[in-house]
Amino acid sequence: MIYTDTRDSSIKADFKTAVMGGMNQKTGGLYIPVEFPKLDKSLLNKDPAPSFRDVAFNMAKPYVEGEIPDGDLAEIIQDAYPFQPKIVPLDSVSYVMELFHGPTCAFKDFGARFMARVMSYFNRNEDTPLHILVATSGDTGSAVGSAFHGVPGLDVTILYPDGKISPLQEKQLSTFTGNVRALKVKGTFDDCQKLVKTAFTDTELRGKLRLSSANSINIARLLPQSFYYMYTALTVKNRCKIDNKILDPAIIMVVPSGNFGNLTSGLIAREMGAPIEGFTAATNTNKTIPDWIASGEYNARPSVETYANAMDVGAPSNYERIKAMYSLEEVRHLFASYWQDNDGIIKAIQECKDKTGYTIDPHGAIGFAAWENIKNGGMEALVNGQKNDPNKPGLTPSIPDWANKVITKEAVGVILETASPAKFGKIVTDATGHEPPMPARLEEVMRLPDRAIPMENDYNQFKDWLLANL
Protein backbone atom coordinates (compact mmCIF):
# COMPACT_ATOMS: atom_id res chain seq x y z
CA MET A 1 0.00 0.00 0.00
CA ILE A 2 1.18 3.50 -0.87
CA TYR A 3 0.59 6.39 1.53
CA THR A 4 0.48 10.07 0.66
CA ASP A 5 0.53 13.39 2.54
CA THR A 6 -2.56 15.47 3.35
CA ARG A 7 -0.60 18.61 2.45
CA ASP A 8 1.31 17.33 -0.59
CA SER A 9 -0.28 14.57 -2.67
CA SER A 10 2.90 14.15 -4.73
CA ILE A 11 4.59 12.53 -1.71
CA LYS A 12 4.52 8.73 -1.68
CA ALA A 13 5.59 6.52 1.23
CA ASP A 14 5.32 2.90 2.33
CA PHE A 15 3.65 1.77 5.56
CA LYS A 16 6.89 1.57 7.53
CA THR A 17 7.87 5.13 6.62
CA ALA A 18 4.41 6.44 7.54
CA VAL A 19 4.37 4.59 10.86
CA MET A 20 7.89 5.30 12.00
CA GLY A 21 7.78 8.95 10.95
CA GLY A 22 4.35 9.64 12.42
CA MET A 23 3.88 12.70 10.22
CA ASN A 24 5.81 14.24 7.35
CA GLN A 25 8.55 16.26 9.02
CA LYS A 26 9.00 18.52 5.99
CA THR A 27 5.37 19.52 5.40
CA GLY A 28 3.77 18.83 8.78
CA GLY A 29 1.14 16.82 6.88
CA LEU A 30 -0.45 13.54 7.92
CA TYR A 31 -0.13 10.25 6.08
CA ILE A 32 -3.18 8.71 4.47
CA PRO A 33 -3.60 5.66 2.18
CA VAL A 34 -3.96 6.52 -1.51
CA GLU A 35 -6.89 4.09 -1.63
CA PHE A 36 -9.17 2.16 0.71
CA PRO A 37 -9.52 -1.45 -0.43
CA LYS A 38 -12.87 -3.21 -0.06
CA LEU A 39 -13.18 -6.29 2.11
CA ASP A 40 -14.32 -9.46 0.39
CA LYS A 41 -18.12 -9.74 0.27
CA SER A 42 -17.96 -13.23 1.72
CA LEU A 43 -16.61 -11.71 4.95
CA LEU A 44 -19.05 -8.77 4.88
CA ASN A 45 -22.04 -11.08 4.39
CA LYS A 46 -21.02 -13.77 6.86
CA ASP A 47 -23.76 -14.82 9.26
CA PRO A 48 -23.01 -15.00 12.11
CA ALA A 49 -20.64 -12.04 11.80
CA PRO A 50 -16.90 -12.77 11.79
CA SER A 51 -14.88 -12.58 15.00
CA PHE A 52 -13.15 -9.37 15.96
CA ARG A 53 -9.69 -10.83 15.32
CA ASP A 54 -10.76 -12.11 11.87
CA VAL A 55 -12.03 -8.62 11.02
CA ALA A 56 -8.82 -7.03 12.31
CA PHE A 57 -6.56 -9.35 10.31
CA ASN A 58 -8.48 -8.96 7.06
CA MET A 59 -8.69 -5.18 7.38
CA ALA A 60 -5.02 -4.74 8.27
CA LYS A 61 -3.66 -7.08 5.60
CA PRO A 62 -3.89 -4.79 2.52
CA TYR A 63 -2.31 -1.86 4.38
CA VAL A 64 0.80 -3.82 5.38
CA GLU A 65 1.07 -6.06 2.29
CA GLY A 66 4.66 -6.59 1.21
CA GLU A 67 5.99 -5.29 4.55
CA ILE A 68 4.55 -7.60 7.22
CA PRO A 69 4.00 -11.27 6.27
CA ASP A 70 0.62 -12.82 7.07
CA GLY A 71 2.05 -14.99 9.84
CA ASP A 72 3.70 -12.06 11.60
CA LEU A 73 0.56 -9.96 11.19
CA ALA A 74 -1.57 -12.72 12.73
CA GLU A 75 0.79 -12.82 15.73
CA ILE A 76 0.56 -9.02 16.10
CA ILE A 77 -3.26 -9.18 16.05
CA GLN A 78 -3.31 -12.10 18.51
CA ASP A 79 -1.00 -10.33 20.96
CA ALA A 80 -2.67 -6.92 20.63
CA TYR A 81 -6.23 -8.07 21.25
CA PRO A 82 -6.92 -10.33 24.22
CA PHE A 83 -10.12 -8.23 24.46
CA GLN A 84 -12.79 -6.97 22.04
CA PRO A 85 -15.68 -4.48 21.87
CA LYS A 86 -18.89 -5.34 23.66
CA ILE A 87 -22.21 -4.37 22.08
CA VAL A 88 -24.98 -3.50 24.55
CA PRO A 89 -28.58 -2.72 23.46
CA LEU A 90 -30.25 0.27 25.18
CA ASP A 91 -33.55 -0.17 23.32
CA SER A 92 -34.68 -1.80 20.09
CA VAL A 93 -32.92 0.79 17.86
CA SER A 94 -30.09 2.02 20.10
CA TYR A 95 -26.84 0.25 20.93
CA VAL A 96 -23.73 1.10 22.90
CA MET A 97 -20.36 0.00 21.55
CA GLU A 98 -18.29 -0.48 24.71
CA LEU A 99 -14.64 0.18 23.95
CA PHE A 100 -13.26 0.15 27.49
CA HIS A 101 -12.47 -3.53 28.02
CA GLY A 102 -8.74 -3.16 27.35
CA PRO A 103 -6.03 -2.67 30.01
CA THR A 104 -6.55 1.11 30.48
CA CYS A 105 -10.36 1.04 30.16
CA ALA A 106 -10.50 3.35 27.12
CA PHE A 107 -10.90 2.99 23.36
CA LYS A 108 -7.33 4.13 22.76
CA ASP A 109 -6.16 0.62 23.76
CA PHE A 110 -7.31 -0.70 20.38
CA GLY A 111 -5.07 1.60 18.39
CA ALA A 112 -2.14 1.87 20.79
CA ARG A 113 -1.55 -1.85 21.27
CA PHE A 114 -1.54 -2.56 17.54
CA MET A 115 0.72 0.42 16.88
CA ALA A 116 3.23 -0.53 19.58
CA ARG A 117 3.66 -4.02 18.19
CA VAL A 118 3.97 -2.79 14.60
CA MET A 119 6.59 -0.23 15.63
CA SER A 120 8.54 -2.81 17.60
CA TYR A 121 8.39 -5.13 14.57
CA PHE A 122 9.78 -2.46 12.25
CA ASN A 123 12.44 -1.41 14.80
CA ARG A 124 13.67 -4.93 15.54
CA ASN A 125 16.91 -4.58 13.56
CA GLU A 126 17.81 -1.02 14.65
CA ASP A 127 20.67 -0.18 17.03
CA THR A 128 18.99 2.87 18.60
CA PRO A 129 15.56 3.26 20.19
CA LEU A 130 12.65 4.97 18.52
CA HIS A 131 11.44 7.86 20.68
CA ILE A 132 7.67 8.24 20.79
CA LEU A 133 6.27 11.68 21.63
CA VAL A 134 2.58 11.85 22.43
CA ALA A 135 0.24 14.64 23.55
CA THR A 136 -2.86 13.59 25.45
CA SER A 137 -6.09 15.14 26.66
CA GLY A 138 -6.73 12.15 28.87
CA ASP A 139 -6.90 8.58 27.65
CA THR A 140 -4.43 8.53 24.76
CA GLY A 141 -1.39 8.82 27.01
CA SER A 142 -2.34 6.03 29.39
CA ALA A 143 -3.21 3.72 26.50
CA VAL A 144 0.08 4.48 24.76
CA GLY A 145 2.06 4.16 27.99
CA SER A 146 0.46 0.81 28.76
CA ALA A 147 0.82 -0.48 25.19
CA PHE A 148 4.49 0.53 24.89
CA HIS A 149 5.66 -0.21 28.44
CA GLY A 150 8.50 -2.72 28.31
CA VAL A 151 8.27 -3.13 24.52
CA PRO A 152 11.80 -3.56 23.11
CA GLY A 153 13.37 -0.75 21.09
CA LEU A 154 10.76 1.88 21.98
CA ASP A 155 10.90 4.85 24.34
CA VAL A 156 7.86 7.01 25.22
CA THR A 157 7.41 10.59 26.46
CA ILE A 158 3.84 11.66 27.24
CA LEU A 159 2.76 15.32 27.52
CA TYR A 160 -0.49 16.17 29.30
CA PRO A 161 -2.05 19.45 30.50
CA ASP A 162 -1.46 19.90 34.22
CA GLY A 163 -4.69 20.06 36.22
CA LYS A 164 -6.97 19.51 33.22
CA ILE A 165 -7.55 15.76 33.34
CA SER A 166 -9.29 13.61 35.91
CA PRO A 167 -7.28 12.35 38.94
CA LEU A 168 -7.57 8.76 37.74
CA GLN A 169 -6.44 9.69 34.24
CA GLU A 170 -3.44 11.48 35.73
CA LYS A 171 -2.55 8.44 37.84
CA GLN A 172 -2.62 6.32 34.69
CA LEU A 173 -0.12 8.71 33.07
CA SER A 174 2.18 9.64 35.92
CA THR A 175 3.02 6.25 37.41
CA PHE A 176 5.00 4.57 34.64
CA THR A 177 8.62 3.52 35.04
CA GLY A 178 11.34 2.31 32.70
CA ASN A 179 10.91 3.29 29.06
CA VAL A 180 7.80 5.46 29.65
CA ARG A 181 7.58 8.84 31.42
CA ALA A 182 5.09 11.73 31.61
CA LEU A 183 5.54 15.51 31.47
CA LYS A 184 2.80 17.66 33.00
CA VAL A 185 2.68 20.86 30.95
CA LYS A 186 1.42 24.18 32.27
CA GLY A 187 -1.10 24.72 29.48
CA THR A 188 -3.88 23.06 27.48
CA PHE A 189 -3.99 19.93 25.34
CA ASP A 190 -3.55 22.14 22.29
CA ASP A 191 -0.33 23.48 23.85
CA CYS A 192 0.90 19.92 24.40
CA GLN A 193 0.03 19.00 20.82
CA LYS A 194 1.84 22.07 19.50
CA LEU A 195 5.02 21.16 21.44
CA VAL A 196 4.95 17.67 19.92
CA LYS A 197 4.26 18.91 16.39
CA THR A 198 7.03 21.49 16.66
CA ALA A 199 9.47 18.78 17.73
CA PHE A 200 8.60 16.72 14.66
CA THR A 201 9.44 19.61 12.34
CA ASP A 202 12.64 20.56 14.20
CA THR A 203 15.43 19.45 11.85
CA GLU A 204 18.14 19.79 14.50
CA LEU A 205 16.25 17.66 17.01
CA ARG A 206 15.39 14.98 14.48
CA GLY A 207 19.04 14.84 13.48
CA LYS A 208 19.87 13.71 17.02
CA LEU A 209 16.82 11.63 17.94
CA ARG A 210 14.68 9.17 16.00
CA LEU A 211 11.17 10.48 16.64
CA SER A 212 7.66 9.24 15.98
CA SER A 213 4.16 9.92 17.24
CA ALA A 214 1.46 7.85 18.89
CA ASN A 215 -1.44 10.27 18.63
CA SER A 216 -4.14 9.67 16.07
CA ILE A 217 -1.89 11.59 13.69
CA ASN A 218 -0.06 8.25 13.34
CA ILE A 219 -1.65 6.04 10.72
CA ALA A 220 -0.82 2.89 12.73
CA ARG A 221 -3.14 4.06 15.49
CA LEU A 222 -5.85 5.29 13.19
CA LEU A 223 -6.22 2.17 11.04
CA PRO A 224 -6.79 -0.35 13.88
CA GLN A 225 -9.56 1.81 15.32
CA SER A 226 -11.44 1.08 12.09
CA PHE A 227 -11.54 -2.60 13.13
CA TYR A 228 -14.18 -2.10 15.82
CA TYR A 229 -16.40 -0.07 13.50
CA MET A 230 -16.43 -2.88 10.95
CA TYR A 231 -16.93 -5.60 13.58
CA THR A 232 -19.75 -3.71 15.30
CA ALA A 233 -21.53 -2.72 12.09
CA LEU A 234 -21.54 -6.33 10.84
CA THR A 235 -22.69 -7.61 14.24
CA VAL A 236 -25.47 -5.03 14.63
CA LYS A 237 -26.68 -5.63 11.08
CA ASN A 238 -27.16 -9.32 11.90
CA ARG A 239 -28.70 -8.57 15.31
CA CYS A 240 -31.30 -6.24 13.83
CA LYS A 241 -33.10 -9.21 12.25
CA ILE A 242 -34.05 -10.25 15.79
CA ASP A 243 -33.84 -7.04 17.86
CA ASN A 244 -36.05 -4.81 15.73
CA LYS A 245 -37.00 -6.75 12.57
CA ILE A 246 -35.25 -4.16 10.38
CA LEU A 247 -33.76 -6.31 7.63
CA ASP A 248 -31.60 -3.59 6.04
CA PRO A 249 -30.89 -1.11 8.83
CA ALA A 250 -29.33 2.29 8.22
CA ILE A 251 -26.60 2.09 10.86
CA ILE A 252 -25.61 5.50 12.24
CA MET A 253 -22.40 5.64 14.26
CA VAL A 254 -22.70 8.32 16.95
CA VAL A 255 -19.13 9.31 17.78
CA PRO A 256 -18.00 11.45 20.74
CA SER A 257 -15.33 13.55 19.04
CA GLY A 258 -12.37 15.69 20.04
CA ASN A 259 -9.34 15.25 17.79
CA PHE A 260 -11.55 13.41 15.26
CA GLY A 261 -9.20 10.46 14.88
CA ASN A 262 -11.90 8.07 16.06
CA LEU A 263 -14.45 9.35 13.58
CA THR A 264 -11.88 9.26 10.77
CA SER A 265 -11.33 5.58 11.57
CA GLY A 266 -15.07 5.07 11.14
CA LEU A 267 -14.84 6.69 7.72
CA ILE A 268 -12.08 4.25 6.77
CA ALA A 269 -14.25 1.30 7.84
CA ARG A 270 -17.12 2.62 5.73
CA GLU A 271 -14.83 3.05 2.72
CA MET A 272 -13.77 -0.59 3.16
CA GLY A 273 -17.35 -1.82 2.99
CA ALA A 274 -18.73 -1.59 6.53
CA PRO A 275 -22.56 -1.28 6.39
CA ILE A 276 -22.51 2.19 7.95
CA GLU A 277 -25.03 4.65 6.54
CA GLY A 278 -23.62 7.72 8.23
CA PHE A 279 -22.16 9.38 11.31
CA THR A 280 -23.04 11.86 13.98
CA ALA A 281 -20.11 13.93 15.17
CA ALA A 282 -20.92 14.63 18.82
CA THR A 283 -18.73 17.23 20.53
CA ASN A 284 -18.62 19.23 23.73
CA THR A 285 -18.28 23.04 23.76
CA ASN A 286 -15.17 22.62 21.60
CA LYS A 287 -17.33 22.53 18.48
CA THR A 288 -14.87 23.44 15.75
CA ILE A 289 -16.08 20.71 13.39
CA PRO A 290 -19.84 21.21 13.95
CA ASP A 291 -19.28 24.91 13.25
CA TRP A 292 -17.38 24.03 10.07
CA ILE A 293 -20.18 21.74 8.92
CA ALA A 294 -22.79 24.40 9.70
CA SER A 295 -21.00 27.45 8.26
CA GLY A 296 -18.42 26.12 5.82
CA GLU A 297 -15.72 28.05 7.70
CA TYR A 298 -13.03 26.15 9.60
CA ASN A 299 -11.83 28.20 12.54
CA ALA A 300 -9.47 26.49 14.97
CA ARG A 301 -9.60 28.06 18.41
CA PRO A 302 -8.20 27.64 21.95
CA SER A 303 -9.74 24.67 23.72
CA VAL A 304 -12.32 25.07 26.49
CA GLU A 305 -12.37 22.88 29.61
CA THR A 306 -15.42 20.61 29.96
CA TYR A 307 -16.53 17.52 31.88
CA ALA A 308 -15.78 15.49 28.73
CA ASN A 309 -12.13 16.46 28.97
CA ALA A 310 -10.72 13.98 26.45
CA MET A 311 -12.66 15.94 23.81
CA ASP A 312 -11.31 19.35 24.86
CA VAL A 313 -9.68 19.98 21.49
CA GLY A 314 -10.04 23.29 19.67
CA ALA A 315 -7.77 22.44 16.72
CA PRO A 316 -8.49 18.81 15.78
CA SER A 317 -5.55 17.35 13.83
CA ASN A 318 -7.62 14.87 11.87
CA TYR A 319 -9.59 17.64 10.22
CA GLU A 320 -6.79 17.40 7.64
CA ARG A 321 -7.59 13.76 6.89
CA ILE A 322 -11.34 14.33 6.71
CA LYS A 323 -10.78 17.23 4.32
CA ALA A 324 -8.41 15.10 2.22
CA MET A 325 -10.98 12.30 1.98
CA TYR A 326 -14.15 14.35 1.39
CA SER A 327 -15.35 17.74 0.26
CA LEU A 328 -17.44 19.83 2.66
CA GLU A 329 -20.58 18.92 0.70
CA GLU A 330 -19.77 15.22 0.94
CA VAL A 331 -19.27 15.61 4.69
CA ARG A 332 -22.66 17.30 4.95
CA HIS A 333 -24.27 14.41 3.08
CA LEU A 334 -22.67 11.89 5.43
CA PHE A 335 -22.58 13.63 8.84
CA ALA A 336 -25.01 15.02 11.32
CA SER A 337 -23.29 17.12 13.94
CA TYR A 338 -24.27 17.84 17.50
CA TRP A 339 -22.73 19.57 20.50
CA GLN A 340 -23.51 19.83 24.19
CA ASP A 341 -22.35 21.96 27.12
CA ASN A 342 -21.52 20.87 30.67
CA ASP A 343 -25.10 21.15 31.92
CA GLY A 344 -26.23 19.01 29.02
CA ILE A 345 -23.55 16.41 29.78
CA ILE A 346 -24.77 16.01 33.37
CA LYS A 347 -28.37 15.83 32.21
CA ALA A 348 -27.53 13.20 29.59
CA ILE A 349 -25.72 10.96 32.11
CA GLN A 350 -28.75 11.21 34.40
CA GLU A 351 -31.29 10.58 31.61
CA CYS A 352 -29.39 7.60 30.28
CA LYS A 353 -29.39 6.01 33.73
CA ASP A 354 -33.04 6.85 34.40
CA LYS A 355 -34.37 5.73 30.98
CA THR A 356 -32.23 2.67 30.29
CA GLY A 357 -30.49 1.68 33.54
CA TYR A 358 -27.14 2.09 31.77
CA THR A 359 -24.32 4.10 33.37
CA ILE A 360 -22.49 6.12 30.73
CA ASP A 361 -19.39 8.31 30.93
CA PRO A 362 -19.39 12.06 30.07
CA HIS A 363 -18.13 11.47 26.51
CA GLY A 364 -20.58 8.72 25.68
CA ALA A 365 -23.28 10.85 27.31
CA ILE A 366 -22.93 13.44 24.54
CA GLY A 367 -23.39 10.64 22.01
CA PHE A 368 -26.45 9.41 23.91
CA ALA A 369 -27.95 12.91 23.96
CA ALA A 370 -27.28 13.29 20.24
CA TRP A 371 -28.98 10.03 19.27
CA GLU A 372 -31.94 10.66 21.61
CA ASN A 373 -32.41 14.04 19.94
CA ILE A 374 -32.11 12.60 16.43
CA LYS A 375 -34.47 9.66 16.85
CA ASN A 376 -37.06 11.52 18.94
CA GLY A 377 -37.92 14.27 16.50
CA GLY A 378 -34.80 16.39 16.23
CA MET A 379 -33.87 15.19 12.75
CA GLU A 380 -37.46 15.38 11.54
CA ALA A 381 -37.64 18.98 12.77
CA LEU A 382 -34.51 19.80 10.75
CA VAL A 383 -35.98 18.22 7.64
CA ASN A 384 -39.14 20.30 8.16
CA GLY A 385 -37.12 23.50 8.25
CA GLN A 386 -36.92 24.03 12.03
CA LYS A 387 -33.19 24.67 12.11
CA ASN A 388 -31.44 25.15 15.40
CA ASP A 389 -29.32 28.10 16.41
CA PRO A 390 -25.73 26.78 15.97
CA ASN A 391 -24.69 28.87 19.00
CA LYS A 392 -26.95 26.81 21.26
CA PRO A 393 -26.46 23.13 22.19
CA GLY A 394 -28.11 20.63 19.89
CA LEU A 395 -28.05 19.55 16.26
CA THR A 396 -26.36 21.91 13.85
CA PRO A 397 -28.43 22.97 10.81
CA SER A 398 -27.15 20.42 8.32
CA ILE A 399 -29.29 17.56 6.99
CA PRO A 400 -27.47 14.32 6.06
CA ASP A 401 -28.66 11.97 3.32
CA TRP A 402 -29.83 9.43 5.90
CA ALA A 403 -32.22 11.81 7.64
CA ASN A 404 -35.37 10.30 6.10
CA LYS A 405 -34.37 6.82 7.22
CA VAL A 406 -34.53 8.07 10.79
CA ILE A 407 -38.00 9.49 10.15
CA THR A 408 -39.24 6.25 8.52
CA LYS A 409 -37.86 4.18 11.42
CA GLU A 410 -35.30 2.36 9.28
CA ALA A 411 -32.26 3.62 11.21
CA VAL A 412 -30.46 2.31 14.28
CA GLY A 413 -27.88 4.21 16.29
CA VAL A 414 -24.62 2.89 17.71
CA ILE A 415 -23.23 5.14 20.46
CA LEU A 416 -19.51 4.79 21.11
CA GLU A 417 -18.76 4.48 24.83
CA THR A 418 -15.11 5.40 24.71
CA ALA A 419 -14.09 5.05 28.37
CA SER A 420 -15.20 3.39 31.57
CA PRO A 421 -17.50 5.60 33.67
CA ALA A 422 -15.21 4.81 36.62
CA LYS A 423 -12.57 7.10 35.11
CA PHE A 424 -14.94 10.01 35.70
CA GLY A 425 -16.35 8.84 39.02
CA LYS A 426 -17.22 12.19 40.61
CA ILE A 427 -19.03 13.54 37.54
CA VAL A 428 -20.99 10.31 37.09
CA THR A 429 -21.79 10.09 40.81
CA ASP A 430 -22.99 13.70 40.91
CA ALA A 431 -25.26 13.03 37.91
CA THR A 432 -26.71 9.67 38.97
CA GLY A 433 -26.34 9.57 42.75
CA HIS A 434 -24.42 6.31 42.42
CA GLU A 435 -20.67 5.74 42.25
CA PRO A 436 -19.72 3.65 39.20
CA PRO A 437 -17.88 0.41 40.01
CA MET A 438 -14.11 0.61 39.79
CA PRO A 439 -12.37 -2.11 37.74
CA ALA A 440 -9.60 -3.84 39.69
CA ARG A 441 -6.95 -2.75 37.19
CA LEU A 442 -7.81 0.89 37.88
CA GLU A 443 -7.79 0.39 41.66
CA GLU A 444 -4.23 -0.91 41.40
CA VAL A 445 -3.08 2.18 39.50
CA MET A 446 -4.46 4.54 42.16
CA ARG A 447 -2.06 3.03 44.72
CA LEU A 448 1.09 3.75 42.67
CA PRO A 449 3.37 6.79 43.33
CA ASP A 450 3.31 9.80 40.98
CA ARG A 451 6.39 10.35 38.84
CA ALA A 452 5.27 13.13 36.45
CA ILE A 453 7.83 15.80 35.55
CA PRO A 454 6.67 19.48 35.55
CA MET A 455 7.22 21.33 32.26
CA GLU A 456 6.55 24.92 31.18
CA ASN A 457 4.68 25.57 27.96
CA ASP A 458 7.93 26.55 26.27
CA TYR A 459 9.35 24.70 23.27
CA ASN A 460 13.00 25.51 23.97
CA GLN A 461 12.71 24.14 27.51
CA PHE A 462 10.98 21.04 26.16
CA LYS A 463 13.65 20.53 23.50
CA ASP A 464 16.47 20.96 26.01
CA TRP A 465 14.85 18.41 28.28
CA LEU A 466 14.54 15.89 25.44
CA LEU A 467 18.16 16.28 24.44
CA ALA A 468 19.35 15.99 28.03
CA ASN A 469 17.22 13.01 29.05
CA LEU A 470 16.62 10.79 26.03
* Separation between Cα atoms, residue 310 and residue 356, nearest integer Å: 25
Rounded-to-10 torsion of CA 234, 264, 391, 398? -60
Nearest to 321 by CA among 263, 255, 254, 401: 263
| Residues forming beta bridges with residue 293, ordered by sequence position | none
Q: Provide CB contacts within 8 A for 308, sequence distance 6+.
A: 256, 258, 284, 345, 362, 363, 365, 366
* Separation between Cα atoms, residue 96 and residue 79, nearest integer Å: 26
Q: Which stretches of 340-451 are assigned E, i.e. beta strand? A: 394-395, 411-417
108 is an active site residue:
yes
Residue-level pLDDT at 28: 84
Active-site entry in 26, 38, 108, 194? 108
| Residues forming beta bridges with residue 254, ordered by sequence position | 280, 415
Residue-level pLDDT at 448: 92
CB neighbours of residue 211 within 10 Å: 23
Residue-level pLDDT at 264: 92
Cα dihedral across residues 168, 170, 172, 174: positive or negative: negative
Domain borders along the chain are 219-439
Q: Which stretches of 94-208 are assigned E, i.e. beta strand? A: 94-98, 130-135, 154-161, 180-185
Q: Give this prediction's pTM.
A: 0.90
Can you tell me whether residue 138 is helix, strand or coil?
coil
Rounded-to-10 torsion of CA 304, 188, 190, 205? 180
CB neighbours of residue 377 within 10 Å: 14
Nearest to 136 by CA among 91, 187, 89, 176: 187
Residue 32 near residue 219, CB atoms below 8 Å: yes
Residue-by-residue pLDDT tens, the chain, 470 positions: 999 999 998 999 999 999 988 888 788 888 999 999 999 999 999 989 999 999 999 999 999 999 999 999 999 999 999 999 999 999 999 999 999 999 999 998 999 999 999 999 998 888 889 899 988 876 778 888 999 999 888 999 999 999 988 788 899 889 999 999 999 999 998 899 899 989 988 999 989 998 887 766 789 989 999 999 999 999 999 999 999 999 999 999 999 998 888 899 999 999 999 999 999 999 999 999 999 988 898 998 888 889 998 898 888 888 889 988 999 999 999 999 999 999 999 999 999 999 999 999 999 999 999 999 999 999 999 999 998 887 899 999 889 999 999 999 999 999 999 999 998 889 999 999 999 999 998 899 889 999 999 999 999 999 999 999 98
Nearest to 183 by CA among 428, 425, 383, 470: 470
The angle formed by the CA atoms of residues 402, 407 and 411, to the nearest 5 degrees, is 55
Can you tell me whether residue 199 is helix, strand or coil?
helix
Can you tell me whether residue 217 is helix, strand or coil?
coil
Q: What is the CATH number of domain 219-439?
A: 3.40.50.1100
* Separation between Cα atoms, residue 18 and residue 29, nearest integer Å: 11
Q: Provide CB contacts within 8 A for 402, sequence distance 6+.
A: 250, 252, 277, 278, 411
